[in-house]
Structure 1
Amino acid sequence: MNRLKNIINPLKTFNLHFNRNNIKKPILDFILTPNSKCTSTLARTKSFNHRNSNNQNRSSGSGHKEYTKDHQFFKSAKQSFMNPVYAITGANILVYIYMHYDNSYKHQKKVFNDFALSDLEKHPLTLITHMFAHSNLGHLVFNTISLLAVGPQLLLHIGVREFCLLYFAAGIGGGLGFLISRDFYRGNKNSLMRRSVDVAVGASGAITGVLVSYAMMFPYSQFYLYGLLPVPAALLVGGYMAWDAYNEYNQSRSGVAYAGHLAGGLVGALFYLFRFRGRY
């Protein structure tokens, strides 16, 4: 009898450990991740739960291994500087401090040459570096909140490589969109068609691309405006893009590079249509 207990008890311990720690807890954590009200995310969770119960009877849970791998990557990436969402956020903050700690003419001239997207022939690297520079604290905070709102979950689904490709392609596309728009309006003889923006800084083009890809992948995930009003991602991001298009069309002189936002959003849409759709 004692011998039989010695055999059964380890099996009970294994079952409790397997079910509680490796199945239920990761699924619970997954549901509680940011922006998880997305029906696509919940559907994936449910389908995994069903698939895993079948696989457990057949082959000791290969679906569980696949899921746990993704989950463990996300949890470890959250605590690592290798996570591109947090690495980009940290770089933006450091560049902002560097830009604004010294207001002397010499330093500001160097900052302008190194980070301001204006003359691509003289300063070609600014097509990339302008994505890390922000004109004021509000600009930085808004972009940071936008990136942190959707970046971690999009990263979880598409992985580090695809996320970095999307982010920098959208940022470069946004920069080129700004330059093309600016040069077009500069050459227009009608003064009313000219813009007040000749120089661009900021991650807005890149982040708009991330937002558009996210909204197309998870159109029913919800954002809470002012913490109260739930709005589907597709409606919120679509409204944001419509606002940018309206201001660009009506020759807004607000100092915002709306064309850069629209170009970055276009890159994000193309990434979803030709790289992400059907794969994730």
Structure 2
Amino acid sequence: MYNRQAQNIGGIARITPSVKFLLIVNVVVYFIDSFTSSVPEYRFLTNTFALQASWWTTPFGFGELFTYMFIHASIGHLLMNMMGLYFLGPTLERGLGPYRFFILYYTSGILGGLGWSLLAGPGQICVGASGAVMGVLGAFAMLYPNTEVALIFLPNVPFKAWKFVLVLMLFEFFQTFVHPLIGGIANAAHLVGGLAGMGYAMTIRHPHIIERLKTKLPDLGKKKAKPRAKSSAQPTLSKAEVDAILDKIGKEGMGALTPREREMLKRATRG
């Protein structure tokens, strides 16, 4: 489903609807926040909708996990995030579809905010789409690992996507746990957002992982029945019965088997 080398990266003609929507909302919110504040030091949208370090103690706190990613501290902050979204977002949206792309974007942003709040000190705030955009980068590297990307300041030195994101994630890890809060940057939000995007992409690229988990969920929390002594009177299973059970597993998974079918399968494998 996914090519190792993504095609048609960048270009205004190739922009997708969800990415266009996110770009417009982020830009509009930034300029409204900048030009409608009567006092330069007080930006109404920033002070109202930024993510507080102790968001769970305020009435609107849970909503801040969503709204903070649409607020940006400066034009440079906005441009860096929107460029990552603009260049890599459309490729992902075409591969995932709008619905799953929005899940990726918002989940990465929300989890990034949660990760930051666990490490932030009292009175600190977090703004920006960096966690969500890092989720986009992480997912891109998982789904299109060998696509070559170039940095603005090194346009003639392309990097494979997986190498670029790996270096970026290692940097964010270092800044989060070794030298935190450098320049007031929410590196923890970047790190957790990127990991969330990579994890989400893994479940898409390898759906059998989720299927295996689903087959195990019905058995979780259930007490194992004591093994019963074998009975010499147990009837022998026919090939047709075994084939029917195996066919059901192939179509619906192990979780669809009834207790009787599970017992029959055990007997067949023991035999």
Is this a same-fold pair by TM over 0.5? yes
Is residue 235 of structure 1 aligned with residue 163 of structure 2? yes
**Structure 1 residue 274: Cα displacement:** 1.9
Question: Normalising by the residue count of structure 1, what TM-score does the alignment of the two structures yield?
Answer: 0.64
How far apart are the structure 2 equivalents of 1:133 and 1:31? 30
Check if 1:33 corresponds to 2:33: no
Is 2:105 aligned against 1:167? yes
Does the CA contact (< 8 Å) of 2:37 and 2:43 recur in 1?
no
Cα 1:266–1:161 shift into 2, 3 Å: same
Corresponding position of 1:154: 92
2:149 maps to which residue? 223
Residues in 2 aligned to 1:109 and 1:142: alpha-carbon distance in whole angstroms: 21
Q: 1:251, CA displacement in angstroms?
A: 2.8
2:200 aligns to what?
Answer: 271
C-alpha distance in 2, partners of 1:271/1:218? 14
- Equivalent residues of 2:46, 2:71 under 8 A apart: no
Q: Rg bigger for which structure?
A: 2
Q: Which amino acid aligns with 2:73?
A: S
Letter in structure 2 aligned against 1:267? A
Structure 1 segment 103-182 matched on structure 2, within 5 A: 103-105=37-39, 108=42, 110-118=44-52, 119-120=54-55, 121-122=57-58, 123-124=60-61, 125-182=63-120
Instruction: Give the length in aligned residue pairs.
Output: 195
Given residue 277 of structure 1, which amino acid in structure 2 is its aligned partner? H
> C-alpha displacement at 1:105, in angstroms?
4.1
The whole-number CA distance in structure 2 between the counterparts of 1:257 and 1:31 is 30
2:124 paired residue among 198, 220, 225 = 198
**2:256 corresponding residue in structure 1:** none
CA distance in 2, matches of 1:99, 1:259: 25
Write the deviation string for residues 168-207 of structure 1: whole angstroms up to 9, x where unpaired: 0000001101111115xx6xxxxxxxxxx81100000001
CA drift at 1:110: 3.1
User: Contact (CA 8 Å) 2:33, 2:43: kept in 1 or not?
Assistant: no
Distance in 2 separating the partners of 1:223 and 1:251 = 28
- Cα deviation 1:41-71 (Å, max 9, x = unaligned): xxxxxxxxxxxxxxxxxxxxxxxxxxxxxxx
Q: Normalising by the residue count of structure 2, what TM-score does the alignment of the two structures yield?
A: 0.66
The correspondence for 1:246, drawn from 153, 167, 174, is 174
State the AA in 2 paired with 1:236: F
1:114 deviates by: 2.7
Letter in 1 for 2:36: D
Q: Which residue of 1 aligns with 2:18?
A: 84
Partner of 2:29: 95
Change (3 A) 1:110 1:31: closer
Q: Which runs of 5+ in 2 are unaligned?
A: 209-271
Deviation of 1:31 after TM superposition, in Å, equals 8.0
Aligned AA (1:244): E
- The 1-side partners of 2:118 and 2:129 are apart by 18
- 1:221-265 CA-to-partner distances (Å, cap 9, x unmatched) read 001233211110001111111111111122333210111111101
Query: SS at 1:112's partner residue?
Result: helix
